[in-house]
Amino acid sequence: MPPAPSPWLRARARRAAGLAAALLAVACASPPKPAAPPLPAGAFYWEATAPGGGALFLLGSVHIGDGRSLELDRRVEAAWRRADALVVEFDPGAVSPLDALDITDRHGLLPPEQTLHDVVSPETYEQLRVYLKQSGYPMQAADRMRPWLLARVVAQLEYQAAGYDAENGVDAWFLRRAAGSKPVVELESMEEQTALFASLPDSLQEKLLREILHGSGDFVAMTREILGAWERGDEAQLGQLVLGSRSDPELADFYQRVFTERNQRMSERLAALAADGRARFVVVGTGHLIGPEGVPVLLADRGFLVKRIVDARLRAKGAAGAARPAPPKP
């Protein structure tokens, strides 16, 4: 039997597995446009019934949180209790610490013959060096990373400084609640998510890194806007913040890969799951559920009867803090 991973190794692996791919969308978000009338306040929650009777309860997640607990609307709570399984984008607990590190290293590190100097401009490199020095992060480690992974590192450093944590995200909250009571189904794997980012052209990876470095001063403020729009159920603002602008051709390619194409795959897999007639509770990033290319629209195109429950309310309660909120009993 191999030796048990050290606490340091487990912590590093948990960070590698816990950073959801959708967090990078914040790096490309645009400032909100002036006041569009908001939709009625409520949760990003849909109920979709398959032609054969299977039910999908779709809840839009935010992948980070500040430690406050989540209070569910009674209809969402009833759907949770009815569901036979929890479906998430991916489950960090589905990979071992060593496998998580292997996946991150294979897709996130440069080949031995390359360093970061070889793949980004001198201006981007210097801006990153200054930022990491101020943050106390070793440049020696950064020199081995691909730009997409460094963009995640910068995002994580900003989140940590502000008291946000992926383990306080809505999907993580439901994963803890499902432990021992409901099976968990992944729509993707950690391998798929990391391979997706590694497949982005080098120029686009550098653009993502540059965008998040340029906006690091506003990053936490924008994150608070995203969390506020999610809690209010404000689809117009959240769509602008998370889905951003498609006017830049390179970023349009990013959104095509990270949202449009993944939404198609998610809807296909959800439709296949629902074919057995059972009920499932689905928690994915809200950016995958809103807009004309969102999963609810794609399920409707497949013959599902889809309804957004606009007056269902979710709210975070209690004081913000770094501790993970304990979910209620199943």
227 domain residue, yes or no = yes
d(CA 48, CA 284): 14
Strand order, beta sheet including 45-49: 184-186, 85-88, 279-285, 55-61, 45-49, 305-308
325 domain residue, yes or no = no
Q: Which domain holds residue 93?
A: 21-317
d(CA 4, CA 65): 30
324 domain residue, yes or no = no
Counting the structural domains of the chain, the total is 1
d(CA 270, CA 188): 11
252 domain residue, yes or no = yes
The alpha carbon dihedral of 195, 200, 202, 204 has a sign of negative
CA 277, distance to chain mean position in Å, is 28
Q: What is the pLDDT of residue 178?
A: 95
- Indicate the average pLDDT of the chain: 82
76 domain residue, yes or no = yes
Instruction: Assess whether pLDDT exceeds 50 at residue 281.
Output: yes
In DSSP terms, which residues pair with 186 in a beta bridge?
88
13 domain residue, yes or no = no
327 domain residue, yes or no = no
d(CA 71, CA 111): 46
Question: Residue 287 in contact with residue 263, Cβ under 8 Å?
Answer: no
Q: What is the pLDDT of residue 320?
A: 55
The DSSP call for residue 298 is H
Q: How many CB atoms lie within 10 A of CB 277?
A: 10
329 domain residue, yes or no = no
Say which residue, 13 or 146, is predicted with more confidence: 146
d(CA 57, CA 274): 11
Per-residue model confidence as pLDDT tens digits over 164-219? 888 888 898 899 999 989 999 999 999 999 999 999 999 999 998 998 888 766 77
**Largest CA-CA distance found in the chain, in angstroms, rounded:** 60
Instruction: Assess whether pLDDT exceeds 60 at residue 7.
Output: no
Q: Identify the H or E element spanning 217.
A: helix 216-232
Per-residue model confidence as pLDDT tens digits over 53-63? 999 999 998 88
Instruction: Assess whether pLDDT exceeds 90 at residue 105.
Output: yes
Highest mean pLDDT among 54-58, 152-156, 164-168, 224-228: 54-58
